[in-house]
Chains A and B, each alone.
Chain A
Amino acid sequence: MTRGRVPWPLVIPAALGLAFLVLPPAGLVLRAPWSTLGARLAEPQVLAALRLSLVTATLATGLCLLLGVPLAWALARGGFRGRNLVRALVTVPLVLPPVVGGVALLTVLGRNGIVGRWLEAAFGVTLPFSTAGVVLAEAFVAMPFLVISVEGALRGVDPRYEEAAATLGASRWTIFRRVTLPMVAPGVAAGAILCWARALGEFGATITFAGNFPGRTQTMPLAVYLALETDPQAAIVLSLVLLAVCTAILALLRDRWVSGP
């Protein structure tokens, strides 16, 4: 069979699917107020929101990598009971409406939350209304994407490679670091990119847990939402900026990291 020839029963749904995904953003581009674009972009609030978005999404992705990769490893390799339950729990943030996720975060990490109260008493740290809160909200919503992709990648690795490493004298930690992790690197990268994109677009949990304050917790999606209240044109511009930056960065990373066969 020749590569690239798509059987016709797939062509129409594929084309419809593509149109369905591409047309709405294209609509944004068409409706954009191009003449005032420059002036709007120069507004310091826009730049501040964009910078905050990029910084928090990146930090959130870092946090997800730090916690999510070991979690994915435990799910893929750990022999503990109730693994299926844990896997189901990991996906909860995916199905939870993000606003509810934000409220859930407040009940735990809020000023009166189970952990938050202790954090404030012991360290004087309050997370709501802070940039750290934005990072946590984004990480909460985005981590399942990372865990699921990395777990899938780990399941794709023949565990006998790890056995081979063990017979060569590698400790479990060395095996993870020097064999398993490099072998799932493409999966980790793909997961991190998904995670980052999800974090970048995060709205509900962020505004509920961290609130909205320009320069501190107002990310691009929040700025877009509020602009929509009074100035839909501005909202379109902001969305386009987010879209452009996101697409550019993803395209760049995809070429560098996830160079497929």
Chain B
Amino acid sequence: MSDRVFGKTARAAVALASALAAAGCGGAGGATVTVFAAASLTESFTELGRVFERSHPGVKVRFSFAGSSALARQIVDGAPADVFAAADHSAMQAVTDARRTAAAPRIFARNRLVIATAPGDPGGVRSLRDLADRRVTVVLCAAQVPCGAAAREALRAAGVQVAPASEEQDVKAVLTKVRMGEADAGLVYRTDVRAAGGRVRGIDFPEAAHAVNDYPIAPLTGASEPRHARAFVSLVTSARGRAALAERGFDLP
């Protein structure tokens, strides 16, 4: 009996909430596309989300930005996501293995490592070789996270031995240490340096080509809005999407 009452109330509440939501979006459906995206995509995807909402009236785009592997784990565990954009293959592979991708993942962007140097460049870093100098404090990502794996690959390709002062949990942590001057230099993605807005200088190095990170994107099974999910993926891979990504420092396939 009380269940029935509660059920009615709950239904009424849901109906009211949907009505309010619909009113808020100006009518037409009130659909929401949920996008799980790697943290490095925050700026570019937020911009693309606004573009998408303008061209699809009544559809809202909601983002969850975090580390790729954490997001992959949430998706595998059943988080309600419509689109997944990862910063590396292995995270996407985990989702594909769990049969949560609705279409084959497509590479839509690439990110390459650069040397980030602290304000004022106290270490006098010009090239990857300078990082081997013991007097230069270097921080890298931990080998367990994508930026760390990439950094080690690049260093191996260059034949440079680096003794890092710390192995950070993600690329933003490396950037923080460099930006605050705790470390003289670190290896981060070009997009991160761009996002840091001038406080940190980025130095390109040729060996970065050996450790380019591919960014795959795929719509997911069980999407509440499969049509809009596919449409968002299309937007990301369109000319408009590429422009937004390039502006943030991504390489394009």
Q: Using a CB–CB distance below 8 Å, which chain A residues touch chain B?
A: 103, 106-107, 110-112, 128-129, 207-208, 210-214, 217-218, 222, 225-232
Contacts and interface: CB of A to CB of B under 8 A. Distances in A.
Contact of A213 (B145, B164, B182): B164
Q: Which of B69, B70, B169 has most A Cβ within 10 Å?
A: B169
Contacts of A231: 144
B139 A226 contact: no
A258 to B, nearest CB: 35
B221 interface: no
Contacts of B165: 128-129, 211, 213
B78 to A, nearest CB: 16
Contact of A232 (B73, B137, B177, B180): B73
Contacts of A214: 167
B182 A110 contact: yes
A230 B91 CA distance: 10
Contacts of B219: none
Given A211-B139, A213-B164, A229-B144, A222 B181 contact: no
Interface range on chain B: under 10, 10 to 19, 20 to 34, or 35 or more? 20 to 34
Contacts of B169: 207, 212, 222, 225-226, 229
B182 A106 contact: yes
A230 B169 CA distance: 12
Contact of B168 (A103, A207, A227, A232): A207
Contacts of B142: 212, 226, 229
B176 A128 contact: no
Q: Which of B166, B168, B180, B182 has most A Cβ within 10 Å?
A: B182
A217 B164 CA distance: 12
Contacts of B137: 129
Interface string B152-190: 000000000000111111000100110011100000000
Given A111-B181, A111-B182, A211 B176 contact: no
B176 A230 contact: no
The 6 closest A-B pairs by CB, nearest first: A211-B166, A129-B165, A112-B181, A229-B144, A230-B144, A128-B182
Contacts of B177: 128, 211
Contact of B144 (A112, A211, A227): A227
Contacts of A230: 69, 144
B166 A112 contact: no
A217 B144 contact: no
Given A207-B168, A210-B166, 8 more contacts: A106-B180, A110-B182, A111-B181, A129-B139, A212-B166, A212-B168, A213-B166, A226-B142
A129 B181 contact: no
Contacts of A210: 166
B216 interface: no
A214 B137 CA distance: 16
Q: Which of B69, B145, B168, B180 has most A Cβ within 10 Å?
A: B180
B249 interface: no
A111 B144 CA distance: 27
A109 to B, nearest CB: 10
B144 A207 contact: no
Contacts of A213: 164-167
Given A217-B166, A227-B144, A207 B173 contact: yes
Nearest to B174: A211
B234 to A, nearest CB: 31
B241 interface: no
A157 to B, nearest CB: 43
Contacts of A112: 180-182
A218 B164 CA distance: 13
A213 B145 CA distance: 14
A218 B144 CA distance: 14
Contacts of B202: none
B138 to A, nearest CB: 10
B105 interface: no
Q: Which of A107, A213, A229, A231 has most B Cβ within 10 Å?
A: A229
Nearest to A107: B180
Nearest to A230: B144
